[in-house]
Amino acid sequence: MPLMGSSGFSRKNFLLASLAAAFAPFDALAQNSQRTTYTLDDVKGAEKLSGITLSDDQRKDVLQALANSRSGLDQIRKAGLSNDITPAFVFVPQGKKPTAGKRTKLTIPKQTVTRPKTDEDIAFLTVAELGELIKSRKLKPSELTEIYLKRLKEFGPKLKNVITLTEETARKQAAQADKEIAEGKYRGPLHGIPYGIKDLFAAKGYPTTWGAEPYKNQVLNLDCAVVEKLNAAGAIMLAKTSLGALAYGDIWFGGQTLNPWNPKQGSSGSSAGSAAGTAAGLFAFSIGTETLGSVVSPSRQCRVTGLRPTFGRTSRYGAMALSWTMDKVGPICRCAQDCAIVFSVIYGADPRDPMSVDYPFSYQPTADLKKLKIGVINSDADPVKYLGKAGEILKSLGADLKPVKFTPPVNGATEVLTIEGAAAFDEITRDGRVDTMKGSLWPPAFKASSMLTGVDYIQAMRVRTNVMHKFEEEFADFDFVIGLESAGSVLVTTNLTGHPQIFVPMGLNEQSRPIGISLVGRLYEEGTILAVANMIQQATQVFRKRPDLSQL
């Protein structure tokens, strides 16, 4: 079929013309000093990386094409693409989607809370309990803010979990909250509640370091979307928390963030400081991000509750991009109900993040487990016994647990992350600044991914499509599934597919080792896994336990 019918310029002619331009004489191209000159030996070396074998004549043709392509790509490198520029495509998780339109139904049981006698007891209350104390005017936001600031100054340096203390802003926001609440202007359950936020989110007037040496002095003159929403809810920003350099691990330019339960261990990452600070009672809740385990992993290590929402549920405007098609924003809290409260504020579409979506969110503190189809991941034995205490609780509440297995994703699918990360930080990889991040695994990963091809990336994304379809097929008609700890390979799968996951600490086993479970829900159905997680936590009360900070 002609592309331009009247001219007779067919698709074949169009492709031939394009190829002719690509295979322009190399001698002429080489005369342009701004273009890179390649040799046949370069092509031979590239053959090993690409897995393609060429003849001598084919190498000459490729050499000519490379010279022309490189010229254009060099212009892209000189364009100075900043981290906030999103690629011209949108990733959409594959599966059933709810009806569009933002509707929030948040049900939090009314409770009578007596103000504790000690500041430490206050610091470890849940968001819901602190909100009740503030709403009933038994506790002022300014009082709560000072309690947490004192703890941050005492324990933050020992845990190495704070990059920037936002003390001035916190006191201003607390004073405003005091005034509004005294005047009867109560904004909701986060009004007057202090929090910490991972330092890959921009906050006006403060450095946004991304935990990495090349960006130690970076100041972005804007508030990210999450900070905007928390500001509107009346929450109080206390600190920008540590993260492994460029969202990998728990080592940043200030050292390694420690686990408050065991300071001989790191806190895991990359939402290292958010999880450690929540566990240590340095703020009421925190905000983290996950690309491949960065909420679930530190939540497990620090024994807190972390929600990784469905991909696209929260705006990433003003946040560092590592992988445009995998980055997700979620709350890290003491309990699932707190995660529901925070998520109800930060979720929703944002035109500044083209991959964000606007679907309803509903949370009830309980669910009828008799009506839900529940799968237990990789349980060859009795699913109830396999899950231990969690299985016993669910069974006592009427759940019928069925075993389910999921096919692990092809390893190459995760190259999506490293290739996108290499693109996001191409500039510092090429100018050498990436090597200043001591202890980080990103420098060799970025360099290796820079040697992969656009074809490799597209093929990895195509495999990812297969992963999504296979996971939906195996998920079948289950309402949610449960796995031990981080849910094994399902953690990787669901970060590729975009499904939500929540980690729930379950205390210690007989060997005094911390244990937990992960609940994985259907796309955009965070409310279900939050409700079930809450039911389990109300039965165990594990979230009431505190680390001994005297050992720091």
Indicate whether 63 and 173 sit together in one domain. Answer: no
Indicate whether 270 and 382 sit together in one domain. Answer: yes
What is the rounded distance in angstroms from the CA atom of residue 515 to the CA atom of residue 519? 14
Per-residue confidence (pLDDT) for residue 356, from 0 to 100:
97
Q: Look-up: residue for tokens 């031979």?
A: 44
Asked whether residue 163 is assigned to any structural domain, the reply reads yes
Indicate whether 146 and 204 sit together in one domain. Answer: yes
Asked whether residue 431 is assigned to any structural domain, the reply reads no
Mean pLDDT of 46-70: 85
Indicate whether 145 and 200 sit together in one domain. Answer: yes
DSSP reduced 3-state for 387: helix
Asked whether residue 420 is assigned to any structural domain, the reply reads no
pLDDT at residue 367 greater than cutoff 60 = yes
Residues paired with 361 in a beta bridge: 104
Indicate whether 141 and 26 sit together in one domain. Answer: no
Q: Are strands 9-10 and 2-4 parallel, antiparallel or unpaired?
A: antiparallel
Asked whether residue 348 is assigned to any structural domain, the reply reads yes
What is the rounded distance in angstroms from the CA atom of residue 138 to the CA atom of residue 349? 35
Per-residue confidence (pLDDT) for residue 21, from 0 to 100:
38
**Residue 503 DSSP one-character state:** E
Indicate whether 187 and 302 sit together in one domain. Answer: yes
Asked whether residue 138 is assigned to any structural domain, the reply reads yes
Q: Which domain holds residue 31?
A: 20-78
Please state the domain count of the chain.
2
Per-residue confidence (pLDDT) for residue 62, from 0 to 100:
85
Per-residue confidence (pLDDT) for residue 4, from 0 to 100:
41
State the CB neighbour count (10 A cutoff) for residue 314: 28
Expressed in angstroms, the distance from the first to the final Cα of the chain is 73
> Residue 104 is inside which H or E element, if any?
strand 104-106
Residues making up the chain, counted from first to last: 552
Q: Are strands 236-241 and 162-165 parallel, antiparallel or unpaired?
A: antiparallel
Q: Are strands 104-106 and 361-363 parallel, antiparallel or unpaired?
A: parallel
Asked whether residue 12 is assigned to any structural domain, the reply reads no
Per-residue confidence (pLDDT) for residue 434, from 0 to 100:
96
Confidence class for position 523, pLDDT limits 50, 70, 90: very high
**Residue 37 DSSP one-character state:** P
Indicate whether 34 and 124 sit together in one domain. Answer: no
Asked whether residue 102 is assigned to any structural domain, the reply reads no
Cis status of the peptide bond prior to 242, with omega within 30 of 0: no
Residues paired with 207 in a beta bridge: 219
By CB neighbour count within 10 A (0-12 exposed, 13-18 middle, 19+ buried), where does 160 fall?
buried
Indicate whether 122 and 185 sit together in one domain. Answer: yes
Residues paired with 516 in a beta bridge: 505
Indicate whether 191 and 290 sit together in one domain. Answer: yes
Indicate whether 353 and 220 sit together in one domain. Answer: yes
What is the rounded distance in angstroms from the CA atom of residue 210 to the CA atom of residue 164? 11
State CA 374 to chain mean position distance. 25
What is the rounded distance in angstroms from the CA atom of residue 320 to the CA atom of residue 84? 7
Type of residue numbered 183: E
pLDDT digits (tens, 9 = 90+) for 109-147: 988 999 999 999 999 999 999 999 999 999 999 999 999
Per-residue confidence (pLDDT) for residue 531, from 0 to 100:
98
Asked whether residue 51 is assigned to any structural domain, the reply reads yes
State CA 416 to chain mean position distance. 15
Mean pLDDT of 408-424: 94
**Angle between the 141-159 and 127-135 helix axes, to the nearest 10 degrees?**
150
State the CB neighbour count (10 A cutoff) for residue 165: 17
Nearest to 377 by CA among 486, 223, 294, 537: 486
Mean pLDDT of 446-464: 93
Indicate whether 283 and 357 sit together in one domain. Answer: yes
Nearest to 364 by CA among 190, 188, 128, 108: 108
Mean pLDDT of 497-517: 95
Q: 3-state SS string over 160-174? A: CCEEEECHHHHHHHH
DSSP reduced 3-state for 264: strand
What CATH number corresponds to the domain at position 196?
3.90.1300.10
Q: Are strands 305-308 and 236-241 parallel, antiparallel or unpaired?
A: unpaired
Indicate whether 62 and 146 sit together in one domain. Answer: no
Query: DSSP labels for 303-337?
Result: T-EEEEPPTTSB--TTB--S-TTT-EEEEEESSHH
